[in-house]
Amino acid sequence: MGRAAGLILQGYAVTLVGVAVGVCSARALALEERGTLALLLLAGQLFSRFGALGFEQLVQKHGFSLFGRAAYHRALLLGCATLLPLMWGFLVFCRLPAVYLLPTFLAAVVVAVLKVNTAYLIHLGRLRELFVINLGQALVQLALFLAAYATHRSLYFYGAWLLTVTLACGLSLSRVRPLLPPGEAGPAGARGVWRESRAYTTVALPETVLTFCLELPLIRVLLGGANAGLYAISNTFTTIYFQVFAALSAVVIQRPLGRRAPLYAALALLGLVMVALCRPAIVLLYGETYAGASRYVEWMLPATFLLGVARLEQVTAGRQAPFAFQVLIVLAFCALLASTLLLGSPGLVVPWIALSYALCSLAVLLGVWWGRPGKRAGSPLREGV
């Protein structure tokens, strides 16, 4: 697990700079402006993941042996372009100007390319190059956010973020190009990439929602802009926790787990420690104004634990549920999130969102358990990718 420990330590080193970035924007912007910035950042990152859903796991496992890099780029460009109507709907739903449609599309493509490149570096075990890219991105973003501090406007912070991810994408391309296999073996069809990556859909989707805070628009609509700002801060802590599972899965996707119980017990204990420390940490870093974010952390950490366990179990499973079963889980998860709009009490909103994550994770775990060797013969599961 030395490689996993390296990824975790690198991730937290970068996260420390990321926390400074968050503190800078939180102290420079009013709660409403902070919520607006969170939604703008969410749009580009979220649609980058939807436009390339499951690509990271596929590249982490196989590199560019199944498909060349160009095939992944064509597939993610097509995926992001297909999502343009949803991008427009997202901006309208969040009451953001439609002029942000083109920047959102470009950001989605750039971030998706960056994620494919970094997944390839993880596949090769080139952790040093990965660290240079991630730390460089965080430091540049911090410098640009500090430059925008005096403006106290979310628009300038958004422009700083766009410039940062573009520079990081360019750096990743320069680092990956010398490492490409001769001729980039493998078929070049974008359709094939989507066909193979769908095996990871049931975890990739809720993981995307958690990482990029898709539920933030629901919070904004149901609880107001101030609570959206608080929820965005709480998401920083749940994402920090989930980074441990992401680092472990990047390793075990090629080297399956042995004994699971001690590992999961340690991860659960880590979650309890984070719940206990989140409120004083939030007050220290962001100020007393954001102390209310701790109650959202308390709800979301247990759901994040279940999602992380589901990810580890899915990427190491020898057999995966058929695509129809995965679609059913995804649709049920989306329906649960959407049904938040029907809740009558504001106090139920975040608990219901946490329950949606938990139920989706349990469904994934049930599918993985059912497909293990030794279970009932004739189980409607196919061999994994």
Assign 320 to helix, strand or coil.
Answer: strand
The predicted pLDDT at position 27 comes to: 84
Assign 137 to helix, strand or coil.
Answer: helix
The predicted pLDDT at position 105 comes to: 95
Confidence of residue 298 (pLDDT cuts 50, 70, 90): very high
Query: Looking at 31-35, 98-102, 230-234, 319-323, which range is the least confident one?
Result: 319-323
Higher pLDDT, 337 or 325: 337
pLDDT in tens, 185-195: 455 577 888 88
Amino acid at 44: G
Helices 225-252 and 31-50: crossing angle, nearest 10°?
Answer: 40
How far is the C-alpha of 141 from the C-alpha of 20, rounded, in Å? 10
Say whether pLDDT at 43 is over 90. no
Query: Looking at 228-242, 306-320, 367-381, which range is the least confident one?
Result: 367-381
Higher pLDDT, 321 or 34: 34
Say whether pLDDT at 184 is over 60. no
Is residue 134 classed exposed, middle or buried when 0-12, 13-18 and 19+ CB atoms within 10 A define those classes?
buried
pLDDT in tens, 339-379: 988 887 888 999 999 999 999 889 888 877 765 544 433 33
Say whether pLDDT at 231 is over 70. yes
Say whether pLDDT at 99 is over 80. yes
Assign 365 to helix, strand or coil.
Answer: helix
Higher pLDDT, 21 or 322: 21
Confidence of residue 271 (pLDDT cuts 50, 70, 90): very high
The predicted pLDDT at position 2 comes to: 56
Say whether pLDDT at 236 is over 80. yes
One-character DSSP codes across 234-271: HHHHHHHHHHHHHHHHHHHTTS--S--HHHHHHHHHHH
Tell me the mean pLDDT in the region 112-128.
90
Say whether pLDDT at 183 is over 50. yes
Residue that has been written with the tokens 């952790």 in this structure: 127
Structure tokens at 333: 């998860």
Query: Looking at 140-144, 276-280, 329-333, which range is the least confident one?
Result: 329-333
Amino acid at 235: N
- Cβ neighbours around 22 below 10 Å, total: 21
Amino acid at 341: L
- The H or E element containing residue 55 is helix 55-62
How far is the C-alpha of 161 from the C-alpha of 324, rounded, in Å? 37
The predicted pLDDT at position 321 comes to: 67
Q: Are 297 and 274 in contact (CB under 8 A)?
A: yes
One-character DSSP codes across 12-23: HHHHHHHHHHHH
pLDDT in tens, 145-154: 999 999 888 8
- Cβ neighbours around 345 below 10 Å, total: 8
In sequence order, the 6+-apart residues with CB closer than 8 A to the CB of 260 are 312
The predicted pLDDT at position 96 comes to: 87
Structure tokens at 132: 């240079």
Confidence of residue 383 (pLDDT cuts 50, 70, 90): very low
Query: Looking at 96-110, 152-166, 253-267, 330-344, which range is the least confident one?
Result: 253-267
Confidence of residue 384 (pLDDT cuts 50, 70, 90): very low
Say whether pLDDT at 385 is over 50. no
Q: Are 47 and 115 in contact (CB under 8 A)?
A: no
Higher pLDDT, 69 or 369: 69
Query: Looking at 11-25, 144-158, 272-286, 293-307, which range is the least confident one?
Result: 11-25
Confidence of residue 251 (pLDDT cuts 50, 70, 90): confident
Confidence of residue 226 (pLDDT cuts 50, 70, 90): confident
Q: Quick one: how far is CA 167 from the chain centroid?
A: 20
Q: How far apart are the first and last CA of the chain?
A: 23
Assign 176 to helix, strand or coil.
Answer: helix
Say whether pLDDT at 108 is over 90. yes
In sequence order, the 6+-apart residues with CB closer than 8 A to the CB of 92 are 98
